Structure 1
């Protein structure tokens, strides 16, 4: 399937979203809209259990489309920021895990999008950063909030205020990405992870994602309460019965996502 600037493919239980807006896969408003429509498709497809997101060619996403910024006044800029934030918040709370396969330059809005994914794999040479201050602006799609959660307040502040770009090796060291692979393998490795996750009960995956996000958003005490609530919910499912029976019988479970 294809949307303007976005390609969507599905294989077994894994979907791959590819941003394809040449030459650098910039995130203009059309691309953001298409990404939202692709997520609509995946949300309603019970066969898809995990998602890989990458960029076409030698770029992941080089940033927002700066040409669009020339037309913004204060009110329009707030609206653009809110559109991006709402989409990336939706990704962060998506019921199926989204794995970013960072195959090249991942800058500005591109890094903000990658940080909204649940897991990030990257190539060692991939350049990452939030260079908005070089343009006299600032991150507007959630970068000032997600980067400190991933790398700590001090490092995030340094990276944002200096517009410093780092490679995948440094990103891995500071916790911005979760694993490194050669550029020609990073998408396939992300698919392998997605396939591994797709073997689990989709209900258990969804509820686990919910619990993780709830604690990060509301604090650990609220997270404990949400975890207990969801732990109770999972015990009402057929998958729980199947998983326990399979363990006792020493066989692979056959989850039906009920």
Structure 2
């Protein structure tokens, strides 16, 4: 389930199916469509996971052309989130893997909880991140680090996320910290913020 709560300064988009919040194209579309261009946007999951990635069951029996189209559509949606005019913050509690990490990397700021577990496990399934995560990760972590992260398929912790430049900071209450950041950003010049983003 995806819903949102609007406040004067910020808009919270919550992905919470009670579990690991698997993603598919319709869920990505829902997140994108709930973004507000007059507020700072916060995307969050639940205490267990931001999102443990794309729903692998959707890939079973998929033809090559279908897989390609799925990848391109996901890439297009995350490009739209990345280029959204107002800042988007993601709150990363628990598992943030695969497609979930790709969604997080398309946001401007990532605030992590101490139990954050993140990575790209796709190589263990014989595939690779297909929604632009390889390119976004290189911008943050550099080529050598991003290749290590993606090729090993390892799961990393919150301290690693800071070291690799994946998250802005770790907070014991990342949602509270994200709200503080959103309120602070909302007080800045909107024109300046938009120009900095673009």
TM-score range, shorter chain: over 0.9
Question: Given the two structures, how large is their TM-score scaled by the length of structure 1?
Answer: 0.74
- Given the alignment of the two structures, is residue 181 of structure 1 paired with residue 171 of structure 2, yes or no? yes
The answer for unaligned runs of 5 or more in structure 1 is: 211-258
Indicate whether 1:122 and 2:118 are aligned.
Answer: no
Higher-helix-fraction structure:
1
**Does structure 1 conserve the Cα–Cα contact (< 8 Å) formed by 2:19 and 2:48?**
no
Q: Equivalent residue of 2:19, what SS?
A: coil
Residue number in structure 1 paired with 2:5: 9
Compute the displacement of 1:36 (Å): 2.6
- Rounded to whole Å, the distance in 1 between the matches of 2:136 and 2:28 is 19
| In structure 2, distance between residues paired with 1:64 and 1:56 | 16
The partner residue of 2:86 within 85, 96, 109 is: 96
Deviation at 1:57, TM superposition (A): 3.6
**What is the alpha-carbon distance in structure 1 between the residues aligned to residue 19 and residue 25 of structure 2?**
16
Runs of 4+ displaced beyond 6 Å: none
RMSD: 1.1
Q: Does 1:207 align with 2:192?
A: no
Structure 1 residues 100-115: aligned runs within 5 Å: 100-115=90-105
Offset at residue 83 of structure 1 (A): 1.1
For residues 181 and 147 of structure 2, the distance between their equivalents in structure 1, rounded to whole angstroms, comes to 31
Deviation string, structure 1 residues 92-132 (Cα, Å, up to 9, x no partner): 11111001110110000010111110011101221000000
Q: Does 1:134 align with 2:124?
A: yes
Pair 1:158-2:148 in alignment: yes
In 2, Cα distance between equivalents of 1:22 and 1:124: 20
Larger Rg computed on CA atoms: 1
Which 5+ residue runs of structure 2 have no aligned equivalent? none
CA distance in 2, matches of 1:62, 1:93: 24
